[in-house]
């Protein structure tokens, strides 16, 4: 018997975990919720680029823990561990994609170049899911798996953006 895929259950914000996991509601977008969550994160992160790097990294590490907790709880509440409305993983993935070039590159960098470059490359790696992103998504369970594959996509995007910006500086 052939079964057709069904739409995931409707996501509702009814707890702190589901609020955080949905990116404060951005993951409830009817079309491309992962991209909607990433764009919302990009806008928020663009406003904070002037903060000290140590603060960014400290808050990012805390946010990864919060993302794992909220994604796991929201996945159980919504009946799908990696429900499309869970976009907190996109937030931490994009954030690390921005933090890597901010940390490794010296000299003035345009904030919008960092944010837009990181957004485009992060979405590319998140959607294409090259190794090790796909391996993490398949082999790690619960909230950890939901978040770690996006962190891996963000790390790949961050190092790719850093290399691209270094290459462009020679032109």
Q: Is residue 99 part of a domain?
A: yes
Mean pLDDT along residues 13-30: 97
CA–CA distances in Å: residue 62 to residues 13, 68, 144: 22, 10, 14
What is the model's pTM?
0.93
Domain around 110: 23-169
* Residue 171's pLDDT band (cuts 50, 70, 90): confident
pLDDT, tens digit, 9 for 90 and up, residues 155-166: 999 999 999 999
In a domain, 71, yes or no: yes
Alpha-carbon distance of 129 to 127, in angstroms, equals 6
Give the count of domains, the chain: 1
At 3 the pLDDT is 57
Written as six digits, the tokens of 100 are 């890597």
Residue 82 maps to a domain: yes
Q: Is residue 107 part of a domain?
A: yes
Decide if 95 contacts 103 (C-beta within 8 A): no
Whole-angstrom CA distances from 102 to 20, 146, 162 are 25, 25, 9
Q: Would 10 be classed as within a structural domain?
A: no
């Amino acid at each position: 018997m052939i079964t057709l895929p069904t739409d995931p259950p409707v996501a509702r914000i009814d707890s702190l975990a589901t609020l955080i996991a949905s990116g404060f509601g951005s993951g409830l977008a009817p079309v491309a919720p992962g991209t909607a969550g990433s764009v919302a994160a990009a806008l928020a992160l663009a406003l904070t680029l002037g903060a000290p790097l140590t603060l960014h990294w400290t808050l990012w590490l805390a946010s990864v823990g919060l993302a794992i907790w909220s994604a796991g709880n929201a996945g159980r509440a919504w009946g799908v561990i990696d429900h499309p409305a869970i976009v907190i993983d996109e937030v931490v993935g994009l954030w690390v994609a921005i933090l890597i070039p901010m940390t490794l590159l010296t000299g003035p960098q345009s904030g919008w170049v960092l944010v837009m470059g990181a957004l485009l490359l992060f979405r590319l790696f998140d959607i294409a899911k090259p190794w090790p992103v796909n391996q993490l998504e398949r082999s790690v369970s619960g909230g950890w798996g939901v978040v770690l594959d996006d962190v891996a996509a963000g790390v790949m995007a961050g190092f790719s953006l850093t290399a691209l910006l270094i290459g462009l500086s020679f032109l």
